[in-house]
């Protein structure tokens, strides 16, 4: 099959490991193994001693009963049997698309979002229409536009909630309206929910699509909300027929995920509330820093994110987003993601949930680089200054 280069992943692969101040990372500041184990007072030496006694078998093929049970508790109407472990949300998304999409199907996907969600179904022979998320609409979908895109061949509507890269959040009422549009053409809804519950607003609760719609499918992972990307574990939560189809297709791609990862994930899920409390503090504190920087940096503006770990920053400089990010990286090692990775030229994506000092230093380096561009541009007679 033919498929485009995965722009954002290719970008991260090229530069991420050499970054001095990585403000492109999308996970909340990662936990160490000891931090994870100790989060509820567990003794790390005892935990690791017991871990060392485990035989390194394939483990539970579809995820341990404890893992599936704990994940099901994150939803209102999902049983453990309706949870299937995969290798990260990227594996979960791929398996859903591999299991459901056939040549000739029609898919509607929001855009911008994670490129996998629209290019993989296209590679399987589906006709894909993109539903634009516009800054003037707070990066929320226009439901009249969605209605105009669906038809009797629409197999799947794909959303990402909270949204990467914008940090927008579709609340319950709009989700219910999207469900009614899906019902009108008997389509599934796949919702990538890897940032679910990372809210900026206290008390804001947004339901999962799987709890709102009988043909809703939720994918998520241990990576973003739980700060454990190194475990490489995710899951699918969905209706019986979807899970059955995914298990059938999964046998051709995945035997099982790592049993040690499963054991550590179970410990994390038992402490979900503790980790979420830690991580919500990080995203709130860091967004306040980013927001203050935006207010004083005249070349940048943004739609303030309401959830997740990322934001799209619009800049007012006569330079492509890729050239800006490469120039920044070469100048001082600060690392951002170009908006071109999301077809959003004139923007960069920032991941603001990193270590707070890294964020502060990274933003300082961005400002320094902008001033350098402005000085060089003014010498050449170009207008690099907004004011």
Residue range 32-44: mean pLDDT, rounded: 97
- CA–CA dist 121, 128 (Å, integer): 7
Question: Which helix (H) or strand (E) is 131 found in, with range?
Answer: strand 127-132
Strand partners, 88: none
Specify the pLDDT at position 386.
43
Residue range 329-341: mean pLDDT, rounded: 97
- CA–CA dist 99, 225 (Å, integer): 26
Whether residue 204 is predicted with pLDDT greater than 70 in this model: the reply is yes
pLDDT tens-digit series, residues 155-192: 999 999 999 999 999 999 999 999 999 999 999 999 99
Q: What is the mean pLDDT of the chain?
A: 96
Question: Which helix (H) or strand (E) is 10 found in, with range?
Answer: helix 7-15
Nearest partner of 129 among 101, 152, 157, judged by Cα: 157
Residue range 186-208: mean pLDDT, rounded: 98
Whether residue 135 is predicted with pLDDT greater than 60 in this model: the reply is yes
Instruction: Show the domains of the chain with their CATH numbers.
Output: 7-26+274-379 (3.90.1150.10), 55-270 (3.40.640.10)
Residue range 128-133: mean pLDDT, rounded: 98
Question: Which helix (H) or strand (E) is 86 found in, with range?
Answer: strand 83-86
pLDDT tens-digit series, residues 215-273: 999 999 999 999 999 999 999 999 999 999 999 999 999 999 999 999 999 999 999 99
Specify the pLDDT at position 376.
83
Specify the pLDDT at position 381.
65
Per-residue DSSP letter, 304:
-
Residue range 341-346: mean pLDDT, rounded: 98
Whether residue 387 is predicted with pLDDT greater than 90 in this model: the reply is no
Would you tell me the crossing angle of helices 240-250 and 88-100 to the nearest 10 degrees? 100
Note every long-range contact of 146-153, with CB atoms under 8 Å and residues 24 or more positions apart, other chains counting: 146/108, 146/178, 146/181, 147/181, 147/184, 149/108, 150/106, 150/108, 150/181, 150/182, 150/184, 150/185, 150/187, 151/106, 151/185, 152/185, 153/104, 153/105, 153/106, 153/127
Residue range 368-375: mean pLDDT, rounded: 94
Residue 12: half-sphere exposure toward Cβ, Cα within 13 Å:
12
pLDDT tens-digit series, residues 47-99: 999 999 999 999 999 999 999 999 999 999 999 999 999 999 999 999 999 99
- Residue 2 or residue 29, greater confidence: 29
Specify the pLDDT at position 279.
98
Whether residue 355 is predicted with pLDDT greater than 60 in this model: the reply is yes
Specify the pLDDT at position 382.
57
Residue 150 CB partners (closer than 8 Å, separation 6+): 106, 108, 157, 181, 182, 184, 185, 187
Instruction: Tell me the percentage of the chain whose pLDDT exceeds 90.
Output: 96
């Amino acid at each position: 099959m033919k498929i485009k280069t995965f722009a954002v992943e290719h970008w991260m692969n090229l530069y991420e490991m050499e970054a001095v101040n990585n403000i492109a990372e999308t996970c909340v500041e990662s936990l160490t193994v000891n931090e994870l184990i100790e989060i509820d007072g567990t003794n790390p030496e005892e935990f690791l001693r017991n871990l060392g006694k485990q035989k390194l078998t394939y483990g539970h093929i579809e995820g341990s009963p404890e893992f599936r049970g704990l994940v099901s508790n994150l939803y209102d109407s999902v049983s453990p049997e309706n949870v299937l472990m995969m290798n990260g949300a990227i594996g979960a998304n791929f398996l859903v698309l591999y299991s459901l999409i056939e040549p000739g199907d029609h898919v509607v996907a929001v855009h911008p979002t994670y490129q996998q969600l629209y290019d993989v179904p296209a590679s399987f022979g589906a006709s894909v229409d993109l539903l634009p998320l516009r800054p003037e609409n707070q990066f929320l979908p226009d439901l009249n536009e969605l209605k105009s895109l669906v038809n009797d061949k629409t197999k799947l509507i794909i959303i990402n909630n909270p949204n990467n890269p914008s940090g927008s959040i579709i609340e319950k009422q709009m989700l219910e309206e999207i469900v009614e549009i899906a019902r009108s053409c008997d389509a599934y809804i796949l919702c990538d929910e890897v940032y679910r519950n990372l809210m900026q607003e206290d008390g804001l609760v947004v339901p999962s699509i799987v709890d709102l719609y009988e043909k809703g499918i939720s994918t998520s992972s241990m990576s973003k909300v739980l700060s454990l990307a190194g475990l490489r574990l995710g899951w699918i939560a969905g209706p019986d027929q979807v899970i059955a189809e995914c298990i059938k297709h999964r046998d051709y791609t995945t035997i099982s995920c790592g049993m040690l990862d499963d054991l550590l994930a179970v410990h994390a899920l038992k402490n979900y509330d503790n980790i979420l409390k830690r991580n919500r503090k990080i995203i709130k504190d860091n967004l306040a820093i980013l927001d203050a920087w935006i207010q004083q940096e005249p070349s940048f503006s943004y739609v303030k994110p309401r959830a997740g770990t990322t934001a799209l920053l619009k800049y007012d400089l006569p330079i492509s987003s890729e050239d800006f990010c490469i120039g920044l990286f070469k100048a001082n090692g600060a690392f951002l993601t170009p908006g071109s990775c999301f077809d959003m030229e004139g923007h960069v994506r920032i991941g603001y949930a990193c270590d707070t000092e890294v964020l502060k230093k990274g933003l300082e380096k961005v400002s320094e680089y902008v001033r350098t561009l402005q000085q060089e541009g003014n010498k050449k007679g170009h207008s690099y200054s907004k004011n």
